[in-house]
Structure 1
Amino acid sequence: MNLKKSLVGMAMLLSVTLLAACGNSNSTTNSSSSNKTATSSKGGNYQVTGQSNSDQYAGVIKNGKYLTSKARGITSNQNSNLMNLKSFETGLQDISKKQFSTEKYVFQEGQYLSSSTVQNWIDRKSKSNPDGLNPESNGSTDPEKRNPMYLQSLEEQDYVQKSGSKLKIGGVTIGLAMNSVDYYRKTTYGAQYQTDISDATLEKEGKAMAKEVLTRLRKKPALKNVPIVIAIYKQASNDSLIGGKFVTYAINTGNSLGKWRAMDIQNVVFPLKTGESAPNDNDADAFSNFKTEVESFFPNLSGVTAQAQYKNGSLQGMNVSITTQFYSETEISSFTQFLADQAQKYLPSGVKIDITVSSTTDGVQSFLSRSSTAKKFSTHVFGSY
């Protein structure tokens, strides 16, 4: 039973992170299972993990344990959209690859910003917290008049290089997760209100914060001369079926901000609602045909939906969710094989696609996946053992 739960958890994590990771879909396998021992520039033994493929970073292990971030999980308030959290972290790493090659750099969780530092930065500026990046409260609780919380969270990712038997910092990437909607309460445990934030305001505030963040980081001796990438992420609202997206980033090699580079990313939910459109109508038609075939196989399906991400108008990946109402393992097994055939027949080729089959009462029942280079889907049906 524990094995089943572990496998279910793995499948759900893969499903949630697809949209953020689909930019890696063109990678080729180059597995390396060996760990390489090194020391940091300050001394101490570290290990560098192998790479599952050439498009992924090796990681850092310290004293036999994964080196976690010093400011892991710090946010200005609780965000109920899990897709935001996952796509923010993984998408930030995709941006890092534009500056820090996976062949030359090793990924290390943020070590230069402590949890207290990050907490102060994402809080409001005040007499007791002069380091706050969010604006001071003006005392108003009116959605149109109050000063909203623009910055939801801040993520640091470090990229180190091997220098002989040592690891030294080679660069840092900072992600600023900006609210498109700021949720708040006028009284503790009271009704929830919201302030909508326009794209123009979100980007303006994000760039102003990026300038201040860069200045603060350059004051740290270890980060005085290394490249620092800062990216601005637009969070989706809490009730959105999709996660947010990165809108722009800058590579900074000096004390002033570099040129901002816009990102054309669009997240889409299939089937489309009336009046909505996708960058490619063929993809919408392909999913519609797939959905029709799937729903004709079993009459007791609760829903067939998909989340897709486009970059510069090109489909990067698709995450399909199918909710069932049946429980027979033989039915699930047959249904999964049917899905593999229909997905290969109807869904777009050349992109990563994950399909998760879940019961309304019993969690994940089966999982299908196909890489961008594969022709057929791999499948797994979760048994009762």
Structure 2
Amino acid sequence: MKRIKLKTWLIIGAGAIIVLALFFFFMNRATMSPSVSKTKGVQLTQNSAGQYQTVIKDGHYLTSAARGLTATSQGNQVDTKDFESGLLNLAKNHFKTGRYIFQEGQYLSSDTVNGLLSRQTDSNLTALNPKDNGKTDSSREPIYVQSLTEQDFMTKEGSNLKLAGMVVGVAMNTQDVYQKEQYGANYYQSISEEARIAYGKKIAPKLIKQIRAQTGVAKNIPIVIAMYANAPEDSLGGGAFYSEATSKSGTNISAWTNIDDKTVVFPKESSDSSSVGNDENTGFTNFKNDIANFFPNIAGATAIGHFTNSKLTSMKATVTTQFYSQTEIEAFANYVASAAVKFLPSSAPVQITIKTANETQVILNRKSDEKSYTMIYM
């Protein structure tokens, strides 16, 4: 009888331990889950200082239906990421991160954006690009506007989110790539800085009018228009924002403000006569030579620096080589990290990607004013 009671108590005790273990497991999972605050089916991420809270709906990140749409399939792939991230940084000057909530563009549908990026026709007078004049030489009307990106900034009113402002990036071509016949060879038409800037200012009120015509967009919310110059198709670097203006109501636009942004490719080309990035270029050249002396299999090393008001804001470097063992990868990555501390700037964040022709091996990161790099092996 005692054995039966003992067995019973052991079973009960084991069951209690399992229940407690499950309780603490799920409590721990709840603690580790991303922190969100519910707003009528909408959730907000709790981001770190200096970053926007973002909108999650029904457990999914709220994406823009019009994201990635372009007037033509050609373009510099580096521009896409720089365009969107640069626009978000620019937005922080107008919509403070502690007050506003970021939402991917929800008011311009894919059909609307496709219509805006098209050429004007008798049936589509709202299009932003000029009518095709039928020419196939330098006198043709180029595609000026390559893409649009909408970013929404919301405020909380009780349990609801309300649109409080918008930032719309307009990516303008500096070079239009076209064919004289379908599936034919590519031809390149350069667009002068003067023509690009003038055309952007011309279509801005038209764009504002179309944005305010969308359901849910109030006529008196501030809309910031930021103009971006795409880099040529074969450029290693991306483009840069060059001007902005704000519409506070209707289609009225404030005076345009110049944005002093520049992208510099290192090592600098001999044709680049600008003094921007000269010191960084010297440092990167020394860095490249130093790691090449250590590891002779290097196929190439380049970097892209972003400057605002002639001051470096970020640098991304790529080192391409060939490895034959994991020990080679680790030894080289450690040497690159020490050389980067010695030669590359510390006043701005730096990212170095070490890769072969086919895959990334290591990513090294250093934030502004940090003394060492963190390494992530892929």
Which residue among 158, 164, 168 is the counterpart of 1:164?
158
How far the C-alpha of 1:80 sits from its partner, in A, is 4.1
Match of 1:233 in 2: 228
2:130 match:
135
Q: Name the residue aligned to 1:38.
A: 39
Name the CA distance, whole Å, in 2 between partners of 1:54 and 1:261.
Answer: 28
The correspondence of residues 139-154 of structure 1 with structure 2, limited to 5 A, is 139-142=134-137, 144-154=138-148
User: Which residue of 100, 116, 122 maps to 1:121?
Assistant: 116
Cα deviation code 1:44-91 (max 9, x no counterpart) = x1000111x322211101111111102122111113421111111111
Task: Choose from 257, 263, 266 the match for 2:259.
Answer: 263
Deviations 1:298-335 (A, max 9, x none): 11110111111111111111111100022311100011
- State the distance in 1 between where 2:312 and 2:282 align: 14
SS in 2 for 1:99: coil
Structure 1 segment 67-146 matched on structure 2, within 5 A = 67-142=62-137, 144-146=138-140
Whether 2:361 is the aligned partner of 1:374: answer no
Say if 2:348 is the partner of 1:355.
no
Deviation at 1:252, TM superposition (A): 1.9
What is the count of residue pairs matched by the alignment?
Answer: 343
Report how far residue 114 of structure 1 moved: 0.7
One-letter amino acid of the structure 1 residue matched with residue 213 of structure 2: K
1:336 lines up with 2:333 in the alignment = yes
Corresponding position of 1:184: 178
Matched, 1:290 2:287: yes
Note if contact 1:332-1:381 (Cα within 8 Å) is conserved in structure 2: no
SS in 1 for 2:331: helix
Matches within 5 A, 1:314-333: 314-333=311-330
Task: Verify: 1:213 aligned to 2:207, yes or no.
Answer: yes
User: What runs of 5+ residues in structure 1 fail to find an aligned partner?
Assistant: 1-31, 40-44
Aligned-partner Cα distance in 2 for 1:79–1:250: 28
Task: Report if the CA contact (8 A) 1:84-1:235 is conserved.
Answer: yes
What code does the residue aligned with 2:63 have? T
Find the aligned partners of 1:100 and 1:47 in 2 and give their Cα distance: 20
- 2:49 aligns with 54
* Pair 1:373–1:37, CA change in 2 (3 A): farther
Report sequence identity in percent. Answer: 41
The answer to whether the 8 A contact 2:299-2:321 is kept is yes
Q: Is the 8 A contact 1:269 1:307 kept in 2?
A: yes
Q: 1:309 aligns with which of 306, 311, 317?
A: 306
AA aligned to 1:378 is: T
State the shift of 1:280 in Å. 4.1
Deviation at 1:223, TM superposition (A): 2.5
- Greater shift, 239-248 or 155-164, is seen at 155-164
- CA–CA distance in structure 2, aligned partners of residues 168 and 327 of structure 1: 56
Unaligned runs of 5+ in 2: 1-32
Q: 2:16 — aligned with what?
A: none
* Equivalent-residue separation in structure 2 for 1:107 and 1:190 (angstroms): 43
Distance (Å, rounded) in 2 between the aligned partners of 1:326 and 1:278? 36
Q: Based on CA coordinates, which of the two structures has the bigger radius of gyration? A: 2
Code of the residue aligned with 2:255 in structure 1: it is K
The answer (yes or no) to whether the contact 2:74–2:177 under 8 Å persists in 1 is no
**Is contact 1:108–1:159 with CA below 8 Å preserved after alignment?**
yes
> How high is the TM-score relative to the length of structure 1?
0.86
Select the residue among 265, 268, 272 that pairs with 2:268.
272
C-alpha RMSD over aligned residues: 1.4
Which SS does the other structure have where 2:88 is aligned? helix
